[in-house]
Amino acid sequence: MISTMFGKPTAWTTTVLLVVFALMPFVAPAIGEAFYVDVFTRIMIWSIAAVGLNLILGYGGMVSFGHAAYIGIGGYTVAIFGFHDITNGFIQWPVALAISGLAALVFGAISLRTRGVYFIMITLAFAQMVFFLGVSADKYGSNDGLNVWNRSTFEVAGLDLSIDDNMTFYYVIFALLLLVIYVTRRIVNSRFGMVIQGARSNDTRLQTVGVPTYAYRLTAFVISGVICGLAGVLQANFEQFVSPDMMDWPRSGELMFMVIMGGMGSLFGPVLGATAFLILSEVLSGITIHWHLIFGPLLILLVLYVRGGLTGLIGKFERRPPGV
């Protein structure tokens, strides 16, 4: 089942990592390191965002340098609703996803009329517009950010996401991560996904035979934005705080690092990349505040000498015959 869903080359790694995710709320307290639960919660949230970006970056060849904006939009929607004493998740979450999708539709409709470095720069420009909108929102904390005093409530569904029941919240995120990966798999293996991947290879040829690639690429861009919006909703509920920093351009860069590091164009690669990135940053930041000077060269070496990122590297070992 795992190999069917994620691909045979990383089946064992996928299985192990998913088991770690599933058991961490029990393992961490048992070994006296309860904070690992928070670390892996954060990993899963960023994994959802990375999977969303990978849909257009890895499969569609669209290098967006502004996807943190949709994370921020999703997070701020929850926080602003909470600020006005509206904590109903059946209101917060759909509105957050709708606004994220609408923003992606507007930004994508303009950005996708460009190519190459121009596309990168215009997605960055739109993201910075959203960032400065957050900075200028004095009512909602401006640079100081905004507290989320109460997590989203789903009373009718019987879900308790309150701070008193972190176990339920953890497994809701885990379930949503699996759902996002599954939906992405269905998309990329559908005719729609074939068009997206074909447009990455030769957009002009597809247009010549009558395929409206612009509409397909824009749809993928919107879906990607909605997935990142979902990550923002979860992050706001988890951190119980939002600020403009969560949608500044370095966050978009980190999100790209996760996808590239894990392996673009692979279903589980973004999850591997998010896990490696966040664990490495946690370990290295404990050694020195200049941990980026260590992490940067590691990423460069990975990109230069390991085709396919961590997914490609692990795939080589898993395909290697025993004893070799």
Candidates 265, 279, 324; CA nearest to 56 is 265
User: In angstroms, rounded to a whole number, what is the distance separating the alpha carbons of residues 189 and 191?
Assistant: 7
Rounded alpha-carbon distances, angstroms, from residue 155 to 36, 45, 85, 95, 174: 28, 23, 15, 18, 20
Single pTM value for the model: 0.91
User: In angstroms, rounded to a whole number, what is the distance separating the alpha carbons of residues 122 and 132?
Assistant: 15
For domain 2-15+36-319, give the fold.
ABC transporter involved in vitamin B12 uptake, BtuC (1.10.3470)
The tokens for 114 are: 């460009």
Q: Tell me which residue has tokens 């004095």.
A: 138
Q: Residue 158 region, left (φ>0) first, then alpha (ψ -120 to 50), else beta? A: left
The tokens for 243 are: 């600020």
Domain boundaries, the chain: 2-15+36-319
* Residue ranges in the chain whose pLDDT is less than 70: 1-11, 156-158, 160, 162-165, 316-324
User: In angstroms, rounded to a whole number, what is the distance separating the alpha carbons of residues 285 and 199?
Assistant: 40
Q: What is the dihedral of CA 116, 53, 71, 74, to 10 degrees?
A: 110
Angle CA(269)–CA(31)–CA(17) in degrees, nearest 5?
Answer: 15
The neighbour count for residue 154, using CB atoms within 10 Å, is: 17
At 87 the three-state DSSP class reads coil
Q: What residue type is 54 in one-letter code?
A: N
The pLDDT value given to residue 202: 86
User: In angstroms, rounded to a whole number, what is the distance separating the alpha carbons of residues 78 and 87?
Assistant: 8
- Identify whether the C-beta of residue 51 lies closer than 8 Å to the C-beta of residue 270: yes
User: In angstroms, rounded to a whole number, what is the distance separating the alpha carbons of residues 282 and 139?
Assistant: 33
DSSP state of 33: -
User: In angstroms, rounded to a whole number, what is the distance separating the alpha carbons of residues 224 and 237?
Assistant: 20
- Identify whether the C-beta of residue 208 lies closer than 8 Å to the C-beta of residue 30: no
State the number of CA atoms in the 13 A half-sphere of 206 facing the CB. 18
The pLDDT value given to residue 5: 47
User: In angstroms, rounded to a whole number, what is the distance separating the alpha carbons of residues 1 and 187?
Assistant: 18
User: In angstroms, rounded to a whole number, what is the distance separating the alpha carbons of residues 240 and 149?
Assistant: 6
Q: What residue type is 161 in one-letter code?
A: L
Q: Tell me which residue has tokens 């005093």.
A: 149
Residues 129-151 as b or e (16 or more Cβ within 10 Å = b): ebbeebeeeeebbeeebbebeeb
User: In angstroms, rounded to a whole number, what is the distance separating the alpha carbons of residues 4 and 35?
Assistant: 33
Dihedrals φ, ψ of 147, to 5°? Answer: -75, 145
